[in-house]
Structure 1
């Protein structure tokens, strides 16, 4: 680990020139004290690194210093293979390895290409953290120690013991046969089998992992893309799926189609809206999807979904029915007030 860090430190100074201890610490994800110890180690090993004092000082290498320390280690090579998405490398715990590998790649370029490549890289931004509406794409946080243990078991072909919390369940230990790792929309997944049955585990729900010495029971070769597609298809057709009959403004049809699992019957209505049969993964998915469309959609069935959306809308309307800061009546008192002020039923018998 320290040897890789020393190489990265030398390459940073070669490619960027003079850098402060604080900048080096930030780039290498260590403390400034560690950077100072590394500088001393490099100097003792004969690397011509020197310090410049003053407000804009820092550390630098003597001009013309060359090094052949550009060989990629295993994690750095692996990071480059998943570098199509930098956040994908982050999900798999390879973010620092990717940064180190890229330093070595740049350093290996001929000097005539190095500046050109650096300038071209500044003109490209791939998969930013926010879109044009400033909506952030937040990757799930998974401790590097856990991801590293899972990776080792996957690559070594060993069984893996994980402490996993399924949705709405307490975490418990289970032993699985790992097949591969997948990242989708900044979420990492472990594809595995358990007692011969396919299983998919979200990395962020693994709170502990332990590689076992026992070989995993799995095929020698795997097509991860095909395996992921098959599991995705089973996920979409399983569970507590809900079919919803809904009217939608044609201008918002695409939003509904994008969130639903499938769209069945579709026909136009006399007012220009469309009537669709949409299938959702479960009741919560159905309510969330239709709620996003606000007044641009109306659920016709099932009745429970209409009632749920009505309750949510009523709660929201009540919240904004009083000036900000004023106390709001509780549900019980609001119901009592409503009952007290309700117009008597004309058909009720008089006293």
Structure 2
């Protein structure tokens, strides 16, 4: 346990620079006295850690101290950082880099640990391509050459030309200032600005991309999580949103929550069903979501949605009444 903690301490100092004993204790979940003992142990072992005195002091490593895994290139290291989801690495165009990096990691292990790790990997399966019902999980993928250009522009801070196919629109070329990349439920998005306005592009709809030499107009630092939350909030508040009053079998509540943008009200009817007012992105989204719930839901309002669902059901019934 102590050996793991010592490694974590060194990595914290490597990645975050000078840190106080209180900060280290909080990160490592130990006492400050334990941190001081660990610092002494590292120093005795030849690790060049030193103390800065004073109010804003702390501990740091001498500049240039290296604890890196020999042989990992930039893309391989990046792939490991996003390897929490195999399809996440794939969506960022780093699938092959991840495979290569993992081979190097295994090769760098001591022989005994290498055999143990290889055996353990055979006992783990993450994100299989099909679920228990044999339904294939289809990731929202973009061509690797396109993603490579987008990724390069994001990291280099360069402007980017993309040939983008928005929904129900003719594909157009546009020049954007890339901010960052986001993966949500296996769908990749480019966060950018265009003429100073926030824009969000789905990677799978980028038909072609070209990194430009011109620097992007963007802040040096960005809170990507906050930026995504803000854009999500604005998206849910769009002008085309549709409010729907629905009766719902409570067993299907989570299914509805997975598709609706928001729940405005919710109460239980006398028969135990839920009466909910929910919002959807637009009319097409509302009709699709309610249709998925079949007889477990009834749209009470608006009337046009009831009519649309009734007509769709009638067409299906007519199709199956016909003789084969």
- In which range does the TM-score fall when normalised by the shorter chain? 0.7 to 0.9
**Distance apart, 1:142 and its partner CA:** 1.4
Counterpart of 1:34 in structure 2 is none
Checking the alignment, whether the CA contact within 8 Å between 1:190 and 1:202 is kept in structure 2 is yes
Matches of 1:167 and 1:158, distance apart in 2: 26
Counterpart of 1:62 in structure 2 is none
Matches of 1:243 and 1:194, distance apart in 2: 31
Matches of 1:86 and 1:249, distance apart in 2: 35
**Distance apart, 1:152 and its partner CA:** 1.0
Checking the alignment, whether the CA contact within 8 Å between 1:160 and 1:211 is kept in structure 2 is yes
Q: Secondary structure of 1:142's partner?
A: coil
Per-residue CA distance 1:218-268 (angstroms, 9 max, x = gap): 110111111111111111111411111111122222322222111122223
Structure whose alpha-carbon radius of gyration is higher: 1
Matches of 1:123 and 1:156, distance apart in 2: 39
**Distance apart, 1:271 and its partner CA:** 2.8
Matches of 1:79 and 1:254, distance apart in 2: 33
Counterpart of 1:196 in structure 2 is 196
TM-score by length of 1: 0.70
Counterpart of 2:277 in structure 1 is 277
Checking the alignment, whether the CA contact within 8 Å between 2:141 and 2:188 is kept in structure 1 is no
Are 1:162 and 2:162 matched, yes or no? Answer: yes
Q: Secondary structure of 1:320's partner?
A: helix
Matches of 2:84 and 2:271, distance apart in 1: 47
Counterpart of 1:71 in structure 2 is 71
* Structure-to-structure mapping, 1:104-143, within 5 angstroms: 104-143=104-143
Per-residue CA distance 1:299-336 (angstroms, 9 max, x = gap): 11101001100110000000100232xxxxxxxxxxxx
**Distance apart, 1:70 and its partner CA:** 5.3
Matches of 1:262 and 1:275, distance apart in 2: 14
Q: Gaps spanning 5+ residues in structure 1: where?
A: 1-68, 325-351
Cα RMSD between the aligned structures? 1.4
**Distance apart, 1:165 and its partner CA:** 1.1
Checking the alignment, whether the CA contact within 8 Å between 1:188 and 1:203 is kept in structure 2 is yes
Counterpart of 2:310 in structure 1 is 310
Q: Secondary structure of 1:227's partner?
A: helix
Of 224-233 and 266-275, deviating more is 266-275
Distance 1:250-1:275 versus aligned 2 partners, 3 A rule = same
Q: Gaps spanning 5+ residues in structure 2: where?
A: 1-68
Matches of 2:195 and 2:218, distance apart in 1: 11
Count of residue pairs the alignment pairs up:
256
Are 1:223 and 2:223 matched, yes or no? Answer: yes
